[in-house]
Structure 1
Amino acid sequence: MIKEGSYLFVEGQGPVEPFRGKYAVKSANVFERIRAGWAQAGLAPESAYLPMRIELELTTKCDDSCPSCGMGALPLAEGRTLTDGQIRFLLQQFASIGLPSMAITGGEPFTAWRALLRMIEGAREHHIDISKLTTNGSWGTLGRCARVFERLEKAGFLDGRLFVPLLMMSIGEQTTPLESVARILHHAVTHYSERELNVAVSSLADPATREHKVDDLISAYERAYGPFPHERVHSTMRVYLNNQRLGGQAPVHRPGHTSVARWMDHCFDCFAPTIGAYVLPTSLLKNNGDWYTCAAFNVPEKLAFGNLLRERATDVIARAAASPYVQRVRAGGGLKALHDVVSQEFTRNTTCTSFCDSCALLIDQFDKQTATTTGHRTPMVIPPAALLARTNGAAPGSQP
């Protein structure tokens, strides 16, 4: 099952193989098609930052409570879900920048079932692929599993033009019965081909035992359905960087003992158009509208460049693309581009826990050395009617 990192296709570095990788695409000319969409939206093709996907926090509600949750999920009574009006508005924002795809996350998206269907249906109407849908699998009961798949299919989950959709099952610290997760996996691999739907498992190690639930999941599956479909199920084991990884994967230096310089040297360009193993660049849209140029769980706060519920998406994208930090990283192929800006004394002698932590430290040092300010927090609230008019290209105060 461990296929993470396989089939990595970076624009300009060789041909693309359709239907390969966790985030498989449906055509070899996918980059040309995506760039055509950006050009049609009026975005400069040489821009330092153009998002291939937005990771959308549909809701902060969750029906579980994981101690190490990286998503900021809240109990059902405390979380909030995007309204119908916000969903419609955000989809118009996404279309205005020629967004190729989006990933839906939470919270737990299936606790916001009505909003989830509206988002999927709206994405289809605006020709935006759903490249990933993340869930804890709590809906995988005997009575619900097949009916949920049927409704997702009807809403358009499988109708992407560019990407094969991925259903990501998160089983780290979740309390969802593994039998339910196994039922979802079995339904997926027996009802859909790999050209229609990809499935993956995200597993978090128990900090006490350093064991992954993925082994228990495989056992639960095989008890119920026979041999586990290793050839169909992808993995995501590197999301929770502060936890033990599966045996058989390449060893890593444990967080806390790795220098910033080492993180820099092993970082790839997260702003380069990339598909297959990942979809990059990937931005993050929090439930409150805050927009980041990176979708990592512990994304540095200075990579926030605006708010898509308050500003035009084209303005926010332009602000990110004009950032000296973003431009430097993009031009130099990753964090290693900062070696000649940030002192070696700092990068070699400062240790941190992850690529993301090193990025946050480097932003601070970069801003200090270049007298710049990375990121932006939107201070004002523009009335939705006026913002909608601006998004549609109408004059403020006119009817959209």
Structure 2
Amino acid sequence: MTLVLDHTLPQVAEGAGSSAAPAKPTLAGMSRARLSEALAVAGVSEKQLRMRTTQLWRWLYITGATSFDEMTDVSKALRTELEARYTLDRPEIVTEQVSVDGTRKWLLRLPRRGHEARAPEIETVYIPEADRGTLCISSQVGCTLTCSFCHTGTQRLVRNLEASEIVGQILLARDRIGDWPGAKRPDDGGLLPDTERKITNVVLMGMGEPLYNFDNVREAMEVASDGEGLSLSKRRITLSTSGVVPEIARWGELSGTMLAISLHAVRDDLRDELVPINKKYPIKELLEACRTYPGVSNAKRITFEYVMLKGVNDSPADAKELVRLLAGIPAKINLIPFNPWPGSRYECSDWETIERFADIVNKAGYASPVRTPRGRDILAACGQLKSESVRLRARERAQPTVDATEPGA
């Protein structure tokens, strides 16, 4: 049975409250530099900034504090001043769904920005396994890439997420599964991983193309990987891109995380249809960027994601061409059974076809695990994420009282 916990709050009429004072910003998810700036605004002297920043950092990212009152080594006067100016809020939970396999999906509402008439929403997914817990996070509200097999691709881009909103997804997930020191964990029937930390891996495979939000994603992953805070190893952070070739090398140089490529086809004509960015950056250019990715080696292989579509890209000839294309690239290949969503025109390849495809790739010396579909019953599996947020037309942004329920341009 799928459990749905509805946290929906009473709705405000669209456009209402547009002239109200903006909500206080949250410190949760901020980088050290931004925390320091916030403390300076709150009146902390330059002499004390470093110490106070370190104090808040530890409360936010080691303890998981959700209230200023918890910060017992911070003076009461400063706590009062901080509370007057800021919050420690995470993204707001609209709904939380728990799959039969333990996968959790959160529909999260973010604060409105500027003239946004509606608060945008994103989805975040937690996937527990025996030896790990993987959190799949979003980097944009919607997406520009319109990949034909992906549900998110049917939702137009609303906006990029700020770095704090990306980190906020990690904090929210740790709150919900009790992944802070001493926190009470939910009764999940033994489905959480048998590891000290329940979130061991983070993948940027949720809504959006992360390399089109480069600076915010990079800042967020610096917070996530800081050894004195959330302390996620960069080898356990994976950025997945559909192939924004000019940014791949820069990401490797500046971030040092693992890389995954959303490939899905071995011919340009087919990939043009499945992953339209291929028309701008075709397969040859994409694979050359992978061959020269900073730090790529057998110890730091690139993951190639390949969704199995019945009668489309799943033939033995496709498997052999995939092996030929990836020659010389330290790689592993994730074969992903297609996860259906309402209105999709594709079907998942038969299991026998997937096994035959995997056998060809394995015999060529590539690890090619078949990704077990997780959370299909709550539309939380790969390619199924979507929210109902819409981008406003320019004239609608200029008229805050407009009804924004109609899809934007």
Same fold (TM over 0.5): no
**TM-score class, shorter:** 0.3 to 0.5
TM-score by length of 2: 0.39
TM-score by length of 1: 0.40
